[in-house]
Structure 1
Amino acid sequence: MPSTEERRFEVLRAIVADYVSTQEPIGSKTLVERHNLGVSSATIRNDMAALEAEGYITQPHTSSGRVPTDKGYRQFVDRIADVKPLSPAERRAILEFLESGVDLDDVLRRGVRLLAQLTRQVAIVQYPTLSASSVRHIEVVALTPARLLLVLITDSGRVDQRIVELGDVIDDADLSRLRSLLGGALEGKRLAAASIAVSELAEDAPESIRDAVVRSATVLVETLVEHPEDRLLLGGTANLTRNAADFAPQAGLPGSLRSVLEALEEQVVVLKLIAATQGAGRVTVRIGEETQVEEMRGTSVISTGYGAAGTVLGGMGVLGPTRMDYPGTIASVAAVARYIGEVLAER
């Protein structure tokens, strides 16, 4: 026979499940009818009274049922023993959809759209962070004898192309020397270290290509010190309007849908919520006040890092009302992050 604590958690879990499904306060009679809890309605009423006294559920209106509080959702999330895995068909469909992306931008756009569709929430993906990326390859192509195209490819799949205008023409032999010099200085280095290395190249460069090295280094340093970690992709923002009632002040939640939408426009706020401070594969759930953003107190944020080979390239996740399908959303966030990392690792 389960302990009183376990039984009360089962009552809480039933309230969370029914409220997420119906958006209606849940009464003891409903619990008796819908769930086989194995105890009398009087016991369930006593358990609900205890849960309310402990702050796990609350009564939004007089003579109504109960709804979970942030503390109740937290208890529920912390006690999720098994997150339902996606089926092989679902996983295969996700991977094939992401693999169809032609470049980093396309893969991330596909990922955010897919995550919004799977969870019916707002999906957020952070571009790979500068500090985590390394130079995979640098290619130097002569467009004309006095104009070069530099193609910089990082291990995160980012591709940058830059034009270098030379002061004089360059022959094939010197072009080969320049390509070798730049590749040796950059390839395999983190972007911050690469910017330092390329800036020091001119000191020991052969006289015949020194001017070309200086001009190329100037263009590359500007490329390497950009801040792509400040870029975010959002998808499914319209999903918030589907749950507009969850953000209504009369629902006992602070703020409003408008305040949440305004907060989403502040990228610094969103970055703080989904920044990849955790390892890939570990999902973080922030509920209500745990977001530490006043305008977001009626929301929950489920996030994780994505990457490959033990390196976290960026953060991603979803944002929605606290009344959400936590097990399903956690599974979707984890799956899409995993497959984005796999796809980028193969590029």
Structure 2
Amino acid sequence: MTQSRRMLVLRAVVEDYIRSQEPVGSTSLTKDHDLGVSSATIRNDMAALEDEGYLIQPHTSAGRVPTEKGYRYFVDRLATVVPLNEAQRRGINSFLSGSVSLKDALQRSARLLSEITGQVAVVASPSLAKATLRHVEMVPVAMNTLLAVIITDTGRVAQHGLAVDEMPVIDEVNHLSSAVNEQCDGLSLSKAGEKVRSIADSTGYEDVREVAKALADAFESMALDERANELYMSGASYLAHSRSLADLAPLFDALEEQVVLMKLMSNLSEESNASGVGVAIGSESHTPGLLHASVVSSGYGRSTNASSRHDTPTQEEGSVTGGTSNDPVAFVGSIGPTHMDYAATMAAVKAVARYLTAFISKSGPES
């Protein structure tokens, strides 16, 4: 018995169980797959796979179903993420290209992904800690207050009030703004804070030193603000159709734990495989409520091509070089049963991540 043939049997069992959600027997494998051996040989292979922990037999007379180990082997051998078909890609482009703001794009992405997969979709807003500064404007709004409008490379916009004891003349404020925009463009918010403090202490900025230090404080507080990461979720109603009532309560509890969910999916997207998609199956999530679920996640971020647009990508979704940046600013993910269609879910997650990468690369200030 060859190990390679045995693993072809495992793959066939996983594929059939994902499709039917019924235990798979040797007779159906012989009929539906060209494995080139008899039903008796396949039974022996399935017994060996059960002994090795890849399959389990729920009832003595029933066929077998994959274990976490079986699903893991299957997922790890999905060499490339099969791209979505042309109609699906056109649908994604059409739906997301109607977005009027970053927030709208994220909400639309969650809705779309849940509809494509029939599972729970989770989309995180770009992390300010990973964003870089694009532009800042400072405008006097009261006798002792300036409003700083801070725009990041991901299209996020934040407004901060800067309190001062004495309002400097507007030309000095504009002079400071120009220096900040020239010297801090492309820096992380924490690095921009350091640079602005350096500017404040340099010659020629004595009259706006107080403003500069208040702006540096604003940059640094943005970089540390964990609440700036919002989660957009859609498709929870699909769970009721695929889970037993006993499983639903802990699963909904897990979905409510947004900090835990964010950490899990963010780590998965950063530890993804060569195709840029990470998968946690059952207990691999180390989250009790997700014991009977699988999580698929991919990062989105700065485009590998500065000229990216949110038109239909010319590269295939399965392409590594045409994928999301190696420096994700947030993630897109899907949560479903362990018997989910992994290939289709990974393709959908990857595709939506690519479109969000293109969207934020193109987007200007958030509307």
1:140 is paired with a residue of what secondary structure? strand
The alignment partner of 1:318 has SS state of strand
In the TM superposition, residue 134 of structure 1 has moved relative to its aligned partner by: 0.8
Structure 1 partner of 2:225: 226
- Aligned-partner residue type, residue 72 of structure 1: G
What is the aligned partner in structure 1 of residue 47 from structure 2? 49
Question: Which residue in 2 is equivalent to 1:113?
Answer: 111
- Distance change (3 Å), C-alpha of 1:281 and 1:32: closer
- Post-superposition shift, 1:219? 4.5
Q: How many residues are matched?
A: 337
Q: CA deviation at 1:143?
A: 4.8
Contact in 2 for aligned 1:133/1:154 (Cα 8 Å): yes
Answering whether residue 347 of structure 2 is matched by residue 331 of structure 1, we say yes
Separation of aligned partners in 1, 2:195 and 2:47: 66
Residue 11 (structure 1) aligned with residue 9 (structure 2): yes
Aligned residues: CA RMSD? 2.7
Residue in structure 1 matched with residue 253 of structure 2 by the alignment = 262
The residue correspondences of 1:1-347 to structure 2 (distance < 5 A) are: 4-143=2-141, 148-164=146-162, 167=165, 171-184=169-182, 186-204=184-202, 206-228=205-227, 230-245=229-244, 256-275=247-266, 276-278=269-271, 282-308=276-302, 309=304, 310=325, 311-347=327-363
Question: Does structure 2 conserve the Cα–Cα contact (< 8 Å) formed by 1:112 and 1:124?
Answer: yes
Amino acid at match of 2:110: V
- Give the Cα–Cα distance (whole angstroms) in 2 for the partners of residues 19 and 224 of structure 1: 46
> Separation in 2 of the partners of 1:83 and 1:215?
47
CA distance in 2, matches of 1:286, 1:259: 17
Deviation for aligned residue 1:19: 1.5
Deviation at residue 144 of structure 1 after TM alignment: 6.4
C-alpha separation between the residues in 2 aligned to 1:31 and 1:114? 34
CA-CA distance at 1:102 after TM superposition: 2.4
3-state SS, counterpart of residue 324 of structure 1:
coil
- Residue 238 of structure 1 aligns to a residue in which SS? helix
How many angstroms does 1:73 deviate by?
1.0
Q: How far apart, CA to CA, are the structure 2 residues paired with 1:216 and 1:45?
A: 70
Deviation at 1:24, TM superposition (A): 1.4
Q: Distance in 2 between matches of 1:219 and 1:273?
A: 29
| 1:140-186 CA-partner distances (Å, limit 9, x unpaired) | 23456765432111112211123445555555423422322443453
Aligned to 2:322: none
2: CA distance, partners of 1:5 / 1:73 = 17
Deviation at 1:60, TM superposition (A): 0.9
C-alpha displacement at 1:125, in angstroms? Answer: 2.2
Q: CA 1:281–1:327 in structure 2 vs 1: closer, same or farther (change >3 Å)?
A: closer
* 1:190 Cα deviation from its structure 2 partner: 0.7
Structure 1 alignment gaps of length 5 or more:
249-255
What is the aligned-residue identity percentage?
43
C-alpha distance in 1, partners of 2:259/2:240?
23
**Is this contact kept in 1: 2:193–2:217, CA < 8 A?**
no
Mapped contact 1:97–1:110 kept (Cα < 8 A): yes
Q: Which residue of 2 aligns with 1:253?
A: none
Query: What TM-score does the superposition give when structure 1 sets the normalisation length?
Result: 0.85
**TM-score between the two structures when normalised by the length of structure 2:** 0.81
Tell me what 1:252 maps to: none
Q: Return the offset for 1:56.
A: 1.4
Counterpart for residue 251 of structure 1: none
CA deviations on 1:205-260 (whole Å, 9 max, x unpaired) are 64544454455555454444322565322221222222113x85xxxxxxx22112
Q: Which runs of 5+ in 2 are unaligned?
A: 305-324
Separation in 2 of the partners of 1:281 and 1:306? 13
Superposed displacement of residue 63, structure 1: 1.7
Alignment-mate amino acid for residue 295 of structure 1: G
- Distance apart, 1:331 and its partner CA: 0.9
Distance in 2 separating the partners of 1:195 and 1:29: 67
